[in-house]
Structure 1
């Protein structure tokens, strides 16, 4: 294969690997293996530290055979860790700058997407775009909180175009990856290759465009990329955790372009959709007998995030398998109590959460909204922000404004710090759990 496109190579390789092993083997060992780069005829794969040794020992021969099938005779794989530097002799050093690493999950297709009232418009728009790139809605902007299927729709579009697009090319990326490639191209003098990689496609799908904010040079380059593609009639599909009008730190000219096409949102799934997702995952993975009431309990307990919903199912099934116990409502409740205490129905206002947090920590509202970073005020503020995100439907920017006009990134940091602390500090865990219960969150 001459001048192979790494996106196509990885898509074909991953599809063949999934077909070559059992469903359980794929999910346990190979699904988390990712693409690092294509260096000549060497496919460099990245495996998490906890599975890398086993993958190298048990699957290297299979993966090398698949590499020869997809790339050609003499091709091989090299498996590295997340932090490991790759040292491979490359026949064409300049090719690395021209190649844009991307990972398409062949499991994320329109057939596997569960449609409900929460996402019906977004799904219909995404399918229309996949069938008629550049003609239906351009750009298509899908917004909503994390874990509700936005990335699934992007992968579905790309997979559909690769399968049915009659030679059309689709490229999926995140803003983080786009930024990394852009910075690398600036340092290495590879801007022409960078531009060709992003502007020479028929469909460009970009995840998490909210992270373009406050990155002036990257934002400018993305603006020019957007214009070049749009003027050439190429399709653009973008996702964000909020609508364009709430991307306050973004330049007006780019925000206006995002709003010029179709803007549609995805919402937290209703109970029927959550149950369908769980049943479909059970049937797809063939995980054995599960009490239907256990699925109903999981659907009731994990109500706002589809990614967390599937994660809860996997953990419950794994716990049952490891302990030799049937998957019953009692088992599901036991696992969820220990692993998902924070995932409860959102029933409170930010002000109620602030007042309850002040009472629990013995501080005043002025203290909570102040700029002081002393303990316990700082931790109380982080907990209040964390609960505001978990127990309400208020956006991150709005939460920040409610806490003394703080930036949404401050809210994200507070949520991360709180989640880390309750995972390692038993006292903090109990304090947050008690406060959650008092707020009606469990």
Structure 2
């Protein structure tokens, strides 16, 4: 089972390179491998909705990625309910799915100076030693352990046998479920589902920013749970005050409880993470190899764990024990991913799209709704500001618009930045995010 898990992790990395971070995190990252029998592969997801989307849009990509890793084509089946007859390997997978990820527990969370406050707060919430941390808002960069802590809270509360109704959802999934409920006229069931929770865990809450109906719904859900004394835990890649497209009433509520940030791990913590992951996989890694990896992958726990999984895959599939040479090969792609990403029009549009909750296609289109028009004008302004591209070339990039349209868009943004400090902060934050990646 471990070797299949490693193989599937490599396949997911291949998929990640073909997708935006948002799409990968929403649809691919949490797929669970259950069983491989010859050329037949069985995977698991946690909802019928996600299963349908993956089968419709991403199944071909997953097949190709698995074929690239394994060297032969496979038949892929996706389940959203545990099989009725389980092999020992499947029982392990079922336990992971019913109680959260079996690796994502408090026992397996490496505590260091960069995360000990967030860990202590999460543990206090999970063990019900305080009611003052409501909501608990954990924030930090991608791959630093926010999802791990959410899953650990779920695992700990579930293990206490209190019969608590624990709901875990990603911010983008909450939006998609709401859209689905509106289309199918099942909003009452949607309300009942979320407002009956004893514990609500929302990962990547920043994704509801800029989505008016979603924020309205979450506002009422938050109020209902908070007034009933139910626990709410949220994670984000930034603190509430920096989610510029978030309504003030939500931002204020998110700051009612406790804010806890997670920073990149220090060297000692990185070594401990590598050793713990290797221990979970039953892999022996020499100290010099652990230090080699820790000295090169400094900002992201997920990358450290991914490197260990690659070492294990090399050992399982090629019989090559961990060494400096193998480690160099294992982290080469990760190091390349850490290099600065070229700033392109597509990347600028993608960042504006993420901030304003509109699609890149809409930004390039002729749609004239206020939100789309604002996102388009900001995109043109940033392209001009960062790339120094000519006005006519910018116009071509945005659906063949003429020189005067681009000039007007840039002037409008400059005018709004002078008159509206919140607008100015949003534009400057987008530019900072683009340059920092």
Fold-level similarity (TM above 0.5):
yes
Q: Using the alignment, how far apart are the partners of 1:292 and 1:203 within structure 2?
A: 41
3-state secondary structure, aligned to 1:264: strand
Query: What whole-Å deviation, never above 9, does each CA across 1:63-98 have from its counterpart, x for those lacking one?
Result: 33039xx9xxxxxx9xxxxxxxxxxxxxxxxxxxxx
Residue in structure 2 matched with residue 286 of structure 1 by the alignment? 282
| 150 and 239 in structure 1: CA distance in 2 versus 1, 3 angstrom threshold | same
Question: What residue number does 2:430 align with?
Answer: 408
How many equivalent residue pairs?
Answer: 315
TM-score calculated relative to the size of structure 2: 0.63
In the alignment, the residues of structure 1 paired with residue 270 and residue 324 of structure 2 have an alpha-carbon distance, to the nearest angstrom, of 16
Q: Is 1:34 paired with 2:44?
A: yes
Q: 1:326 — aligned with what?
A: 321
The structure-2 alpha-carbon separation of the partners of 1:28 and 1:335, relative to structure 1 and needing over 3 Å to count, comes to closer
Once the 2 structures are TM-superposed, how far is the Cα of residue 339 of structure 1 from its aligned partner?
Answer: 4.2
Query: Does 1:266 pair with 2:262?
Result: yes
Shift of 1:119: 0.5
Partner of 1:66: 86
Q: Residue in 1 aligned with 2:295?
A: 300
Q: How does 1:217-232 map to 2 (within 5 A)?
A: 217-232=213-228
Partner of 1:107: 103
Alignment partner of 1:190 is 2:200 = no
- Which residue is 1:393 aligned to? none
With over 3 angstroms needed to count, the CA separation of the structure-2 counterparts of 1:243 and 1:214, relative to structure 1, is: same
Mapping of 1:115-134 within 5 angstroms? 115-132=111-128
Q: Work out whether residues 303 and 343 of structure 1, in 8 Å CA contact, stay in contact via their aligned partners in 2.
A: no
Unaligned runs of 5+ in 2: 9-30, 34-42, 67-72, 341-382, 398-422
1:311 equivalent in structure 2: 306
Unaligned runs of 5+ residues in structure 1 are 1-21, 71-76, 78-100, 346-364, 379-399, 416-442
Partner of 1:6: none
Match of 1:213 in 2: 209
Question: What secondary structure is seen at the aligned counterpart in 2 of 1:226?
Answer: helix
Are residue 341 (structure 1) and residue 333 (structure 2) matched? no
Secondary structure of the 2:83 match is helix
Is residue 270–residue 298 contact of structure 2 (8 Å, CA) maintained in 1? yes
* Residues 245 and 220 of structure 1, relative CA distance in 2, 3 Å threshold: same
Q: Secondary structure at the match of 1:206?
A: strand
Structure 1 match to 2:400: none
Q: CA deviation at 1:316?
A: 3.3
Q: Matches of 1:326 and 1:38 in 2, distance apart?
A: 40
Over the residues paired in the alignment, what is the CA RMSD in angstroms? 4.0
Distance 1:409 1:322 in 2: 43
Q: Is the 8 A contact 1:104 1:172 kept in 2?
A: no
State the alpha-carbon separation in 2 of the partners of residues 313 and 258 from structure 1: 36
| Cα distance in 2 between the residues matched to 1:366 and 1:55 | 45
Q: 1:159: which partner in 2? A: 155
Offset at 1:326?
Answer: 3.1
How far the C-alpha of 1:107 sits from its partner, in A, is: 2.4
- Report deviation, 1:187: 0.9
What does 1:42-57 correspond to in 2, within 5 Å? Answer: 48-49=62-63, 53=74
Assess if the C-alpha contact under 8 Å between 2:271 and 2:291 holds in 1: yes
> Is residue 35–residue 103 contact of structure 1 (8 Å, CA) maintained in 2?
no
- Indicate the larger mover: 200-209 or 26-35: 26-35
Q: Is the alpha carbon distance of 1:175 and 1:194 closer, same or farther for their aligned partners in structure 2, counting shifts above 3 Å?
A: same
CA distances 1:129-188 after superposition (whole Å, capped 9, x unpaired): 011187241000001001000000001111111111511111100111100110111111
Corresponding residue number in structure 1 for 2:14: none
